[in-house]
């Protein structure tokens, strides 16, 4: 039944379509001579976040020691997002891919990223949208249960699942943080791909499909799509 619905509703669908869209957005901003920073690079398990070869140098920073084994970076360093081990004005572009939802103090991180960016440098964020049913449900679940569900649906192992705070997960909050930390918001985009979280059962999948069609049918309902992508620019 699930496969039949896939064929009927999502023929030719590209898995993780929203990640592909975000990747294209970042590539459109990268120039050959740029130095790029992956904030929260980890072990490099997300192929859509591999940009080595697209810029002069791609660096990564993470508290997870696996970052030192990330072969998709030109340089990796251990460090926190609020204490990035690079000098001022080092990078032309930084991106944080499913990172900011885990930050207890996102303002400190935004300010630190602004420090290491050159004037007019860009920060690209991809994060869950707080007003989507998946995120709202996640907020209500204890971390242990959230860990179990994610590991079953997406086959992700426990070290890749971290506690979430969702303190930077609405358009309004991003605008406020940007204003407070020396950024201007250049673009905010909301994406709703195939409903993977409800695809595990033929009983739940039709509800996910209906929701996806409704929120994608009009710009007015964009704030209820699952993924939020924002492009910020450091002010002069």
DSSP strand pairing (183-191 vs 227-234)? antiparallel
pLDDT beyond 80 at 116:
yes
Contact 228, 129 (CB under 8 A): yes
Q: Is the pLDDT of residue 149 over 70?
A: no
**CATH code that applies to domain 2-234:** 3.40.50.150
Confidence bin at 119 (pLDDT 50/70/90): very high
Q: How high is the mean pLDDT of the chain? A: 92
Residues 22 and 19: their CA atoms lie apart, in Å, by: 5
Tens-digit pLDDT profile for residues 7-19: 999 999 988 899 9
Q: Is the pLDDT assigned to residue 114 strictly greater than 50?
A: yes
Where along the chain do its domains lie? 2-234
- Helix, strand, or coil (residue 5): helix
Q: What's the pLDDT score for residue 147? A: 56
- Average the pLDDT over 151-162 and give the result: 54
Separation CA 187–CA 177 (nearest Å): 14
Per-residue pLDDT band for 171 (boundaries 50, 70, 90) equals: very high
More confident of the two residues 140 and 130: 130
* C-alpha span between 48 and 20 (Å, rounded): 6
């Amino acid at each position: 039944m699930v496969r039949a619905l896939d064929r009927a509703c999502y023929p030719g669908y590209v898995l993780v379509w929203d990640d592909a869209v975000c990747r294209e957005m970042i590539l459109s901003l990268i120039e050959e001579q740029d130095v790029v920073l992956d904030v929260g690079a980890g072990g490099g398990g997300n192929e859509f976040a591999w940009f080595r070869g697209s810029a002069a140098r791609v660096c990564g920073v993470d508290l997870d020691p696996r970052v030192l084994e990330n072969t998709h970076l030109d340089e990796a360093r251990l460090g926190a997002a609020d204490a990035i081990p690079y000098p001022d004005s080092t990078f032309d572009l930084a991106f944080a891919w499913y990172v900011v939802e885990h930050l207890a103090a996102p303002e400190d991180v935004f300010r630190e990223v602004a420090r290491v960016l050159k004037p007019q440098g860009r920060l690209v964020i991809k994060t869950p949208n707080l007003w989507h049913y998946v995120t709202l449900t996640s907020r209500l679940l204890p971390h242990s249960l959230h860990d179990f569900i994610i590991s079953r649906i997406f086959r992700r192992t426990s070290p890749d699942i971290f506690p979430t705070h969702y303190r930077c997960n609405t358009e309004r909050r991003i605008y406020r943080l940007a204003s407070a930390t020396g950024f201007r918001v250049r673009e905010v985009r909301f994406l709703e791909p195939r409903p993977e979280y409800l695809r595990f059962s033929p009983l739940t999948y039709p509800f996910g499909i209906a929701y996806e069609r409704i929120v994608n049918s009009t710009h007015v309902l964009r704030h209820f799509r699952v993924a939020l992508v924002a492009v910020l620019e450091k002010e002069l």
